[in-house]
Structure formats: structure tokens, C-alpha cells
Amino acid sequence: MKKRFLILGGAGFIGSHLCDALLSAGHSVRLFDRLGVPPYRVFTEQEPIEWIQGDFSSTADIEKAVDGCQIVFHLVSTTLPKSSNDDPVYDVESNVVGTLRFLDAARHAGVEKIVFVSSGGTVYGVPQLIPISETHPTDPVSSYGIGKLAIEKYLHLYEVLHGMNYCVLRLANPFGERQRVNAAQGAVAVFMNRAIHNQPIEIWGDGSVVRDYIYIANVVDALVKAAFYSGKERLFNIGSGQGKSLNDILAAIEVLLNRPVNRTYLASRSFDVPANVLDIAHAQKHLAWSPQVSFEAGLTDTFHWLSN
């Protein structure tokens, strides 16, 4: 069944890939992003796409964005884990309060379902065991993670109070084409880009920090399946299910480049938990989803995109 989708944060790394997938499947898509953010590509007149810009914290802008849309992907985040603790008040006002305005607008507009991208890397805090399942305690050590968790709870509240249907995807560390290489997030793309240009790569700590890295095509597949999922489960980890250290990533990049990369090790950061790998069995069972593109294949595609 064809649907009309809204992607909040549609110009970003994840949103742009999601938009392309939805358009390819014949759906209508409305993209919402910040003022001044240009479209990520040229759309043809035949593509059922609408591009609108506005302020996520503006009730009027969000009401306009959700009007007439059946399913909404909430990908907006105004902060990063690295910076969120510097100003928790801003984090709450811009993300949590902004989302509450959006939820009210969605409720009044009759939105059928919301798919929210949460953070599998931050909501759990320091893991008690690896891999981390959805039932693991949630003790975030960053305002970013606390904000994501709060939004999850408000989605549940709105389902209880208003019958709003939703899915939460606790996402691992996505990587792939279109990821911003000058951002403070996204180790794979940042490292790869610097290695290609023979620039030094800075590592916080000794490089032993382990994370779960998932290729963007696998993320999009999970998002689409969550949108059409009709079961009772609401919360899913989305990752590769495998951990790789920063040193592992550098080693894989060196194999692709067939040469060593220049690296510098710095002091570790207090908010970096030593390891985070997600248990994805729940999504495999209920969403009938599992990663189809391996880390190595995704890394190769990312390499070719950055090289060109």
C-alpha cells in the first residue's frame, strides 16, 4: 500500500537515503529540515516529493509539516553526545520539548504512526553485559542519551493517552555514503576521508573502544520495515550485532588503501563507554530484519564514494 511519508530531518545522512528508498518504492515523501539547508540532490518532476523548511521548535512549522501525512520518521536531533553535556537545558528545550510539540501536532493531524530513531549507543550507559538487549538497564551518561530516552517514554505516554502508534529504533553507529566527513560524529567516514587525503587521524584513548557499526542501507531497510510493522512490539535495537574497535576500523581502512594511515592517540574521554554492541535478535524475530550488507562491503562502498 502506498503511503504519504514525512521525514523530519530529511536532508541529513539517514533521511536522504530513506527518502530515496521510499521514492523508489512509489511512496509520496515530504522532507522537512532546517532553514537554509539545501536539497541533497536534484529531484525530477515525476518524483512525488515535497521539500519544506522550518524550525523544529515552531508549532506552526511542525503543524504545516505533518498535515496530510500518514507516517512520520522523526530523525531530528539538535545535539551530539559529545556536546550535549555542555548545555543540557538547550538539549531538553530543543529536542524533548520540540518533540512534545510535534507529538501534539501529529495527534491533531491524525498521523497513523511515528518511527523514532533513538540511540542504541547512549541510552544504555555503561553496559553490564555484551551484547546489549532492549531489556538492559538504561542509565545514560550523556544528556543526549537522556533526551532520547525521555522521548521514548513520551511516545509510550501518547500511545496510552491517545492511542498513537509508534516504533522506536535504538540505532547503533551508522556509516556510509553522504555522511558528513567534517562532523564530530561518524568515525568510519571521518577516518576514511582523512586517510584518503593522507591527513592524521586523532583517536581518543588507545583505540580499544568498541562500537557497533551498521551500514546505511541496513538502517534504511529497518526503518521501512518498522513503518509497516503491525505487531505489538515497540522497541528494537538496530545494529550489526558485532563489535569493532577503532583500531579495527583503521586496520580495515589500511587494507582498502593498501598502505598505513597516520594516527595520533589522545587522552580518553569520560563519556565514552568502553564497549557497546547491540543484541539485534528482537528485530530479527519481529521485524523480519537483519543486516544484509556486511561491514566490509559497506566500507568499500563508502571508500569509493569518498574517493570520487
- The stretches in the chain having pLDDT less than 50 are none
Q: What gap in Å lies between CA 203 and CA 195, rounded to an integer?
A: 13
What's the confidence (pLDDT) of residue 82?
Answer: 79
Counting beta carbons within 10 angstroms of the beta carbon of residue 259, is it exposed (0 to 12), middle (13 to 18) or buried (19 or more)? exposed
Domains of the chain, earliest start first: 4-175+215-239+279-286 (3.40.50.720)
Do 9 and 34 meet the contact criterion of CB atoms below 8 Å apart?
no
Q: Measure CA of the first residue to CA of the last residue in the chain; give whole Å.
A: 37
Residues 6 or more apart whose CB falls under 8 angstroms from that of 163 comprise none
Choose the catalytic residue: 40, 90, 124, 144: 144
Q: What gap in Å lies between CA 53 and CA 163, rounded to an integer?
A: 29
Cell numbers describing residue 107: 495527534
Q: What gap in Å lies between CA 236 and CA 220, rounded to an integer?
A: 14
> CA–CA distance from 226 to each of 44, 70, 173, 274 (Å)?
27, 14, 18, 30
Angle in degrees, CA 276, 83, 128, rounded to 5? 25
Q: What gap in Å lies between CA 235 and CA 152, rounded to an integer?
A: 9
Q: What gap in Å lies between CA 11 and CA 30, rounded to an integer?
A: 11
Cell numbers describing residue 267: 587522552
Q: What gap in Å lies between CA 156 and CA 237, rounded to an integer?
A: 17
What's the confidence (pLDDT) of residue 184?
Answer: 63
Residue 242 CA from chain centroid, whole number? 17
Using only C-alpha atoms, the chain has a radius of gyration, in whole angstroms, of: 19
What's the confidence (pLDDT) of residue 101?
Answer: 97
Catalytic residue flag (residue 90): no
